[in-house]
Each structure stands twice: as C-alpha cells, then as structure tokens.
Chain A
Amino acid sequence: MKKDLLLIAKRKFTSRLLLGTGKFSSPSVMKEAIKNSGAEIVTVALRRIDLNNPKDHILSYIDPNKYLILPNTSGSKTAEEAVRLARISRAFGLPAWVKLEVTPDPRYLLPDPIETLRAAEILIREGFTVLPYINADPVLAKRLEELGCATIMPLGSPIGSAQGIRTKANLEIIIEQAKVPVVVDAGLGSPSHAAEAMEMGAAAVLVNTAIAAADDPAEMAAAFKLAVEAGRKAFLSGMIAASATASASSPLQL
C-alpha cells in the first residue's frame, strides 16, 4: 500500500499532527509532549523567543534537524507587523516558512481576513512559504490558495476555547474545494475533536492548549497522536454515512 504522506510545499511529512509550543509548564514538559505526539512540525511564537539570545530556551529544546520549526506571527495586529516579524525571523536563520497570524482582537484572537490576505501577498512575493490562520471562510480560503499559500489553516473555534469544531458547515466546503492541504487549527479541546476533523477530510490538525494545559501533557500528546491516526484511517477507509434512523442490515430485507 502506498504510504499516506502529508505534502506541504513539496515537503513530505508522515505525521498529520502539528504542535504549538505555548502554554507549557516547562521546556522539558514541552519536549516530552512533542516527542509523544509524533509531530514533525512545531510552531513557535516569535514574540516569545529572543532571537538575540542563541541560548533562548524554547528553540534550544527543539532539534531543527528533526522538526520543522514553523515560526508564527501571533500578536501581530496588521499585515505590516506580521511581515516585519517574518522578515526578522528569516534574517536570524529560522526557516522561511511562516504560520501567518494577524489577530487585531486580543481577546478571542480571531484572524483579520483583510490584513491576512495583504500579508500573505507580500510574504509570498518575498519567497516565504505561507501557512495562513483564518476563520472558516471558504472564499478567503480560495483567495489565499490562489495567491500561493502552502496550506489553509481554518479554525474549528476560537483559540483556547476547547469548543471543538463549531465551523463544520464551512470547513466542509473549504475541504471540498481546496487544492492545498487544509489544517484545522485552534479550538480542538480533546482527541475526539481532532479525530472528527480528520474524519471530515482535513489533511492535518494543529493542537496546542489541549495538550499544554492538560494535567499530563505527554500522555495527552500521545492520545492526540492516536486520534489523528484513527481519524485519518477512518477517512481513507470510506466511512458509512451517518443516519438518523436505524436501517435493516440488508437493503432487500423488507
């Protein structure tokens, strides 16, 4: 059987679980969780790392040969701020990949569609591989894909809310129409939420709070790994459609 690989900007990954590195109780707990999650892509908030200090502890705990470090622009309110941050990160030798987050509302951290589109345009022109965090807006998803974004990262529900997939109807349209991988990002509070996204046909999911804030982050990371694999297998295996009424086991049996 052909190996089921995740392909982002021509780079191959076996894991379909991306991990955020915020909110952990210590770098060693984070490291253990990353290991158990099987993730190959970990995202790091540029606002949290001190690029002038090479011993900065978040980065020194993540082996760049083993993991793709995906810098994110969280905290940016405008396209200009996000672009500046991405440029600084590349100048300091981090990968020219960026998880584009433009969130002018500091409470719900919902992404600004207009600024995100503007920033994506500039960053793609400058040669970055751009993975934009967006609301589950199918038209915006297509517009970003047409610009050349490597993935689309729509939210399931607001960051840290643990509400799971509340944008289902729109996510289904995004997944149906997408030509690039759709990574469901934000709001996944439990492994079953991650499995649900994968069953819907998402190419991958990104999880942070649900793992970092769990009582046992390393075990929770392992649970998410299993859920993502289960959801993916189910999607590939052709699930029977859910039905509201019971059906006889044979269509001929009346």
Chain B
Amino acid sequence: MNLKEFKAIISAKSNQSLEDLMLAARRETLKHFGRTIQLYSPLYLSNECVNSCTYCGFNRRSKIKRITLDIKQVEKEAQFLRKQGFQHILLLTGEDSSRVPVDYLENAIRTAKDLFVSVSIEVYPLREEDYSRLIAAGVDGLTIYQETYHLPTYHRVHPDGPKRDFKWRLGAPERAARAGMRKIGIGFLLGLYDWRDEALKLAEHLQSLLKNFWQAQFQISFPRINLPAGRQAPIEADFKVGYPVSDQEFIRLLCAFRLLFPQIGFTLSTRERAKLRDKIFPFGFTQMSAGSKTFPGAYSVGIKSGKQFEIADDRTPRQVVKALVKSGYEPVWKDWERSFA
C-alpha cells in the first residue's frame, strides 16, 4: 500500500468496507507478529509540570497534589511491577527540568535497569547529548507524541511553557535516533484535530524517519481522549474534545496504518475500555499496557497524587493476561535482552 491508497482508505468517502479492512489488517499482523502480545507497564516518576496543556491532568494550573518520587520510592514502585511479572517498563514524567532534571532521569533509569530487561522513557524532549547519556544509563526506548501535527491547534492547546515549541518536540524522535535509541514510539492525541489530517501527517513523519534511521525500531500508538458517557471531561473541567473519534473511525485508522506499515509495532493504551481492547487488539496491536496507573506513587507508595488521565481499562495484569489467553493469544513478558546496547 502507498500513501495515496492510505489516504483513500481513511477518507470519509471511502467505500472500502470496514470488515474487509479488518480481515486484511489481522492477516498482516499475524504474519509479522503471530498470536502474541507484549506487555509493559507505565511507571510515573513525577507529575510536576511547567506546561499548561489544556487536555492534561498535569497542567500546571491544575490544583493537584504534586510529587516527584525519590529513588527509594522509584525502586519500591519498580519492585511492585516486577513482582507482577513485567519485564518491560516505561518511565514517565511531566515537564519540569529543574525539579526533574536529566541527572534524576539517569538515576531512575539505572534503578529500573537493575530490575527490568527493557526500560523506556516518556519524558519532555531532550537534546541529543542527553539522550546519549540516558542510553548509556540503560534506556532502550523513547515514546514522544507530537500530540497534534496541526500548528494552529498545537499552539491553542499548548498556550505557554516550553512545550509551545512545536519544532523542538517534532525533532525529538530524530535527535533520539541520532543518539542511538533502539525503539522510538510516535503518535498524535486523537481528539485534538481532524484525525484524517493527523493520520496522514503521522504516516509521512514515520516514512521519513524510516528512510533516515533504518536501524531504529519505530512504533506507533493511537492515544484517544475518551469521555466516558455522561462525563464532561477526563480531568480538565473546561476542556472539550473538539474532534471526537468514534470506535468505527478508530478501527479504520488502526487498520489503515497496519496495511501501510505491516512490520511496525503498535501500542494499545489503557485509555481504551476493556471490552473494546479485547475486541480490537488482533487487528494491528502488538503490545499493550495492563494494570496501568497514571500518577506517581500509584502502585505501592500510597500517595494520592494527581493523575495525568483517566484509565478506561482498570483490570489487573492477571485479568488482562487471562483475556488474552482466552482469545488465543500468548502474552509475552520478555522480548528484549539486556545485552542489546
């Protein structure tokens, strides 16, 4: 499939049936990934933030309890997740380079690396030399979403703070790849702008990265801002989803990406409800989080700090594993080696 066909498939006027697309997408996913789903868990290190992203619970204007875990607390959280079986971990922060500097990230990565086979980060955009330092400390993956590729929308939802710099964020995957990051996950936040336009931009972004950094393992994700029925907003009281994406559209988007990028790993978020996750994962997803909590200290420290967003699938990892097995899929806890570095 090429970009033109991709565009036709996701077009509002497309007459390609969703069922046919789903069958084709499942076939491609099976060929390249088999009947397996890799599991990972997020671990929030900090919710301190100097930005004011309108859709985010960590927005500096939010009156939430703010904390940054100390290294002992990071270790405690990590041990809790390791005991649940996780071998792949994703460390997350807000953006506050004075309270959560690169030195801190380096220490947190070292701590996590003692327990997990694979350590990824989802933090504010860094310089190439900082990515190099973190890679040396043991990180092998980076997730950084552009949130929206549409500049006017980007400026509207990021009214102030360092995140307002669109280009600096857009350049982060490239800087990380130059530094030698093994796995790089990109994506946009569904709901901020017209998803068809965003999908095309994401596809072009990925194609360009693949050409320039043929050795990096790129991944994509489709985080969707969900509003549970009867709820006004996930966390931010005055935030409204301007461009809601329906389940049908979400599946169409997923299948189109699978057909355009057959060998790229796709991540399924716990932002989606359990029932939908169980139904759609075979049509393109290759990894998912389970038992996720979106605030620092959530698993074992016992501090009720502020959340980044609401989780729609609150099943335990054990329950998620059970559902996967029931669908005829093998949950994969380990798919990496410490000696890759």
The 8 Å CB contact of B332, one of A48, A85, A106, is A48
Whether B31 lies near A162 (C-beta < 8 A) is yes
Q: 9 other contacts beyond A24-B34, A27-B330, A46-B337, with CB at 8 A cut-off?
A: A25-B36, A47-B337, A48-B334, A48-B335, A50-B87, A81-B339, A104-B214, A162-B31, A213-B30
User: Which residues of A80-117 are within 8 A (CB) of B?
Assistant: 81, 84-85, 88, 104-108
Is the CB of A76 closer than 8 A to any CB of chain B?
yes
The 8 Å CB contact of A88, one of B325, B334, B339, is B339
A161 to B333: give the CA distance in the assembly, Å.
Answer: 25
The 8 Å CB contact of B34, one of A76, A85, A213, is A213
A46 contacts across to B, CB distance below 8 A: 337
Whether A75 lies near B215 (C-beta < 8 A) is no
B217 contacts across to A, CB distance below 8 A: 106
The 8 Å CB contact of A107, one of B263, B328, B341, is B263
Whether B35 lies near A25 (C-beta < 8 A) is yes
Is the CB of B33 closer than 8 A to any CB of chain A?
yes
B329 contacts across to A, CB distance below 8 A: 25
Is the CB of B32 closer than 8 A to any CB of chain A?
yes
Q: List 18 A-B contacts (CB under 8 A).
A: A22-B36, A23-B34, A25-B36, A25-B329, A47-B336, A50-B117, A75-B336, A76-B340, A81-B337, A104-B215, A105-B214, A106-B217, A107-B214, A107-B263, A160-B32, A160-B263, A209-B34, A213-B30
A62 to B132: give the CA distance in the assembly, Å.
Answer: 40
The 10 A-B pairs at the shortest CB distance, nearest first, are namely A23-B34, A25-B35, A106-B217, A84-B339, A213-B30, A107-B263, A47-B337, A25-B328, A160-B32, A104-B215
Nearest CB of B to A95, in Å = 18
Q: Interface on chain B toward A: helix, strand, loop, or mixed SS?
A: loop
Chain A residues within 8 Å of chain B by Cβ, number: 29
Whether B335 lies near A107 (C-beta < 8 A) is no
Is the CB of B3 closer than 8 A to any CB of chain A?
no
Whether A160 lies near B31 (C-beta < 8 A) is yes
A212 contacts across to B, CB distance below 8 A: 34-35
Which interface residue of B87, B215, B332 has the most chain A CB atoms within 10 A?
A: B215
A24 contacts across to B, CB distance below 8 A: 34-36, 330
A20 to B337: give the CA distance in the assembly, Å.
Answer: 19
User: Which residues of B165-189 are within 8 A (CB) of A?
Assistant: none
A107 to B210: give the CA distance in the assembly, Å.
Answer: 9
Nearest CB of A to B208, in Å = 15
Residue of chain A at shortest CB distance from B27: A213
Is the CB of B216 closer than 8 A to any CB of chain A?
yes
Is the CB of B135 closer than 8 A to any CB of chain A?
no
A213 to B336: give the CA distance in the assembly, Å.
Answer: 21
